[in-house]
Amino acid sequence: MSSQKAAEDKEHTNPPVAKSLSQLIKKYPDTFRVRGPRIKQVALTFDDVPDPRFTPQVLDILKEEGVKATFFVVGSRAKKHPDLLARIKREGHAIGNHSYNHPQFNKLNLVEFRDQIERTNKIIKSITGQEPRLIRPPYGEINEEQLRWARKNNYKIVNWNVDSLDWKGLTKDQVKQNILSATGPGAIILQHAGGGVGSDLSGTTEALPEVISELRKKGYSFVTLPDMLSVPEDR
Ligand SMILES: [Zn+2]
């Protein structure tokens, strides 16, 4: 038996020790990304789409500004609003998988986890013709078993290193401050273009044009995650 085989068997027989997200990012640097190369580029990312209350406004602003972003799609929402997902695609943005109904992956077994990913990819494919390779776990949480499955099946997990905290219903100035104070070369910026009942993302939409112009003034360009990370968008 080769030593590699022995190591693999050992990993299978010993229950994995729970690892923190930062340990997992270190252990699987190719599969689990939180930022891009340190060049003057940033990626704007918008989770929890499509949502008719907020997604069209975000798309209008991005179109006006000539910026391409990455949208992480919740499968159950895409099923309800296929036209809106089709618009995201048509306008040249990148699309990733954000689960079927936004559970905490840590509470799911592997079969349930796979079902969340595969159901959503199927829905996205039926609407856009493409099956995303990028996954953003709800709340950024994933465990090692799930990560290994993702790696084996040719997915990339992409979290962020700049959090706007916009889902809290912050004001425009707070959202802007959270983003601009933390953004550096290669930043992956988390925002939302969809929300739960009663959520208010007016801070996000009001801040967005100013965030874009401030970052442009500082010399940043805007790229999608597949471009930033040099991975194909499609599986
Ligand atoms: Zn989310």
Q: How many domains does the chain have?
A: 1
Q: The domain spanning residue 115 has which CATH number?
A: 3.20.20.370
Residue 136 in contact with residue 158, Cβ under 8 Å?
Answer: yes
Catalytic one of 47, 48, 51, 166: 47
Residue 80 lies in a domain: yes
Q: Can you tell me which residue has the tokens 């801070």?
A: 203
- Nearest residue to 94 via CA among 126, 138, 62: 62
Q: Which structure tokens are listed for 210?
A: 């100013």
Expressed in angstroms and rounded, the spacing between residue 76 Cα and the centre of ligand 1 is 12
Expressed in angstroms and rounded, the spacing between residue 18 Cα and the centre of ligand 1 is 23
Is residue 47 annotated as part of the catalytic site, yes or no?
Answer: yes
Q: Can you tell me which residue has the tokens 């997992």?
A: 24
Model confidence over 144-183: pLDDT tens digits? Answer: 999 999 999 999 999 999 999 999 999 999 999 999 999 9
Confidence bin at 129 (pLDDT 50/70/90): very high
Query: Could you tell me the residue range of the domain that residue 85 belongs to?
Result: 21-229
Instruction: List phi, psi (to 5°) of 37.
Output: -60, 150
Model confidence over 181-230: pLDDT tens digits? Answer: 999 999 999 999 999 989 999 999 999 999 999 999 999 999 999 999 99
Q: Is the pLDDT assigned to residue 15 strictly greater than 80? A: no
Catalytic one of 98, 115, 192, 200: 192
Expressed in angstroms and rounded, the spacing between residue 134 Cα and the centre of ligand 1 is 14
